[in-house]
């Protein structure tokens, strides 16, 4: 089955530690996205990548980093510089010849204490 997988579903870390969230897709999509979701705020774009080895900052990139070494994979690292890292993180992908429709993974809930 084609789709987007995010792992783990739940992640717990201590403050001051970096943590990497996994996102993999087998849809052969060109573009991949990371969003952060907080209650009552909808989705906010962290980073996106349209091709391998290239990515752009979204609206709230501070404290986050990404890489895109393979078309299928777009991991997100939440660094210790992110002031409020506890949130629900969603990965999405899109076939760029399509009209902007994005497909979403199941999400990772990160809790930092």
Partner 1 sequence: AQSVTQPDIHITVSEGASLELRCNYSYGATPYLFWYVQSPGQGLQLLLKYFSGDTLVQGIKGFEAEFKRSQSSFNLRKPSVHWSDAAEYFCAVGLNNNDMRFGAGTRLTVKP
Residues that bind partner 1 (CB under 8 A): 4, 6, 31, 33, 40-43, 45, 48, 50, 88, 90, 92, 96, 99-107, 109
Q: Are strands 4-7 and 31-37 parallel, antiparallel or unpaired?
A: unpaired
Q: Which is nearer to partner 1, 17 or 56 (CB)?
A: 56
The two three-digit tokens of residue 29, written as one number = 């999509």
Q: Which is nearer to partner 1, 16 or 42 (CB)?
A: 42
- Cα separation, 99 vs 57, whole angstroms: 21
Kind and range of the H or E element at 20?
strand 19-25
Least distance from partner 1 to the Cβ atom of residue 99, Å:
5
């Amino acid at each position: 089955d084609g789709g987007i997988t995010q792992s783990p579903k739940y992640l717990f870390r201590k403050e001051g530690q970096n943590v990497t969230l996994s996102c993999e897709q087998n849809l052969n999509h060109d573009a991949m996205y990371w969003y952060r979701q907080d209650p009552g705020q909808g989705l906010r774009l962290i980073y996106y990548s349209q091709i391998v080895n290239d990515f752009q900052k979204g609206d709230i990139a501070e404290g986050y980093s990404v890489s895109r070494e393979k078309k299928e994979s777009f991991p997100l690292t939440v660094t210790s510089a992110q002031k409020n890292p506890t949130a629900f993180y969603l990965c999405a992908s899109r076939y760029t010849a399509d009209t902007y429709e994005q497909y979403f993974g199941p999400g990772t809930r990160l809790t930092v204490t």
